């Protein structure tokens, strides 16, 4: 695992279902709550990975890790799920149902002298229907990290075979 410093930043908040910008997923509890059962069907049980249930052992949402000026390139994450149909809220009448591809990779967040289990969470830009982040941002699903807030600095440990982070 390689270590890189990141600044925690606010995203669209659709993952957690607390978005004021796009409230479509708020009543469902967020996109992560809808996607995680689909990940489990394909071999990644997030509850087992994090050692407990969503909202107890791990957070329903993502941490936005700003790596500016560095950028992220997808290489070969441990999990690559294609054609995931996790909602019908992106569908348009007369068009095929929207499916999405996802890349996930085991990682770790270090904050306040403690380490927390994490997953790099990368919706495939080629199939993502919205809520795009700049290439300097990496989203992470993680165990609960007490007291972490927007603007805080944290260390992110990641597999360099999964993603390349470069200047």
What ranges do the domains of the chain cover?
A: 2-166
**Cβ–Cβ < 8 Å for 14, 2:** no
pLDDT of residue 5: 97
Quick one: fold of 2-166? Elongation Factor Tu (Ef-tu); domain 3 (2.40.30)
DSSP string, the chain: -EEEEEEEE----TTTT--SS-GGGTTTT-HHHHHHHHHHHTT--HHHHHTS-BTTTB-SS-EEEE-TT-EEEE---SEEEEEE---STT--TTSPPP-EEEEEEEEEEEETTEEEEEEEEEE-TTT--S----TTEEEEEEB--TT--TT-EEEEEE-TTTEEEE-
Give the per-residue pLDDT at 126.
Answer: 86
> Kind of pairing, strands 163-166 and 153-158?
unpaired
Residues of the chain with pLDDT under 70: 129
- What is the distance between the alpha carbons of residues 115 and 118, in angstroms, rounded to a whole number? 9
pLDDT at site 23: 86
pTM equals 0.93
């Amino acid at each position: 695992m390689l270590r890189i410093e990141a600044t925690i930043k606010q995203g669209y908040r659709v993952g957690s279902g607390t978005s004021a910008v796009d409230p479509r997923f708020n009543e469902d509890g967020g996109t992560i709550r809808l996607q995680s059962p689909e990940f489990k069907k394909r071999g990644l049980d997030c509850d087992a990975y994090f050692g407990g249930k969503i909202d107890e052992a791990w957070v329903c949402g993502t941490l936005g890790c700003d790596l500016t000026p560095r950028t992220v390139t997808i290489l070969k994450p441990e999990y690559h799920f294609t054609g995931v149909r996790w909602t019908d809220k992106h569908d348009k009448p007369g068009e095929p149902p929207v499916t999405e591809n996802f890349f996930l990779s085991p990682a770790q967040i270090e904050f306040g002298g403690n380490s927390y289990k994490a997953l790099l969470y990368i919706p495939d830009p080629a199939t993502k229907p919205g809520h795009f982040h700049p290439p300097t941002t990496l989203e992470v699903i993680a165990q609960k990290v007490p007291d972490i807030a927007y603007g805080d600095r944290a260390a992110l440990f990641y597999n360099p075979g999964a993603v390349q982070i470069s200047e």
